[in-house]
Amino acid sequence: MPMSSWQMHAVATYMRLMRRPRTYATASTAAAWMARPKQMPDPPERLNRRHRVSRSVIDDFAVYTVTAERSPTTRTGSTIYVHGGGYVNEIHRQHWKLVADIADATGQAVQVPIYGLAPQHHAEQAITFLQAVLIRASADGPIYLAGDSSGAGLALAATQTWIAAGGTPPAGLTLISPWLDIALTNPGIAAIEPRDPWLAVPGLRECGKAWAANVPLDDPRVSPICGQLTSLPPIDLYIGDRDIFLPDSRRLRDTLPPEGLNYHEQPGGIHVYPLLPTPEARATRPTLLAHITEALDGPNDDHH
């Protein structure tokens, strides 16, 4: 495969021309974006065609459970998918597509917690909500956490909090373009930012401050790379080399023991590239799904 496909170039061009100027270019564009009315987070209607979709409520927040129509109802265990969006954007159809793919691949439920978004909601509330989701999910069998962008950061932070409180570590973690340091302090970001067609530091920092609220920016609940990185489950990480989250992903790679991390760095890949309509994403998806499936098919008895 060439450095990047024409489809990746097309998506990158769209992001640079349309999305970045409206959202992350400056602190003021980010503030305006955050202030817009939030949309309903309901799953798309077409998800119901081949999947069973149910909705429950924990701590006043919705949790959707998605299962493939032909999946045996006797299988225990589930994946918890934490969607991205800079902590300010609603769940998107690309997220639901990946959720459906995970449900199809594993034959098990995928739980999608709809956490509150900044500036109305904040990190402490989301961590508490996810602990409640983990308590309920772990009672039914092994659990696996996955997320993209801010959702990947939140999934890692929630896992660290869960383990610190004595919870059984999840079977694994999939982190797609994780936002690991809410303040974006890594000096390596400056060299990547001009090549990133989507994300920009000023707007992301504005979103990050709103999300952190009263939590210090180096607190692991908002910057999990500052937290405990031992005792974590196996991590499967995907990052493009045109993503300003790359330096912190490399830092995580260099901090964790090699056996604790499968690290995938895509040449020419932009932010959350495994979710995009590109050949690179299609090539990645089987590896990503296999990691989740194999982890959940592991020694299930250890999780009961």
More confident residue, 292 or 70: 292
- Position 74 scores a pLDDT of 60
Helix 27-35 and helix 201-212, axial crossing angle in degrees, nearest 10 = 50
Strand ranges in 46-120 using DSSP code E only, listed in sequence order:
51-58, 61-68, 78-82, 109-113
Q: What is the mean pLDDT of the chain?
A: 94
- Position 2 scores a pLDDT of 52
CA gap 75, 140 in Å, rounded: 10
- Position 70 scores a pLDDT of 79
Bridge partners of residue 175, in order along the sequence? 147, 237
In sequence order, which ranges of the chain are alpha helices (DSSP H)? 6-14, 20-22, 27-35, 93-106, 123-138, 150-164, 189-192, 201-212, 246-255, 279-296
pLDDT tens sequence across 211-242? 999 999 999 999 999 999 989 999 999 999 99
CA gap 272, 290 in Å, rounded: 18
What is the b/e burial string over 93-111, where b = at least 16 CB atoms within 10 angstroms of the residue's CB?
Answer: ebbbbbbbbbbbbbbbbbb
More confident residue, 304 or 208: 208
Mean pLDDT of the 61-87 span: 89
Q: Which among 41, 79, 88, 45 has a CA at the least distance from the CA of 61?
A: 41
277 and 58 in contact (C-beta within 8 Å)? no
What is the b/e burial string over 157-190, where b = at least 16 CB atoms within 10 angstroms of the residue's CB?
Answer: bbbbbbbeeebeebbbbbbbbbbbbbbbebeebe
Q: Is residue 304's pLDDT more than 70?
A: no
Mean pLDDT of the 162-177 span: 97
List of domains in the chain: 6-299 (3.40.50.1820)
Which residues neighbour 255 within 8 Å (Cβ) at sequence distance 6 or greater? Answer: 225, 229
- Quickly count: other Cβ atoms within 10 Å of residue 233's Cβ: 17
186 and 247 in contact (C-beta within 8 Å)? yes
Q: Is residue 301's pLDDT more than 60?
A: no
Which residues neighbour 172 within 8 Å (Cβ) at sequence distance 6 or greater? Answer: 144, 145, 233, 234, 235, 236, 291, 292, 295
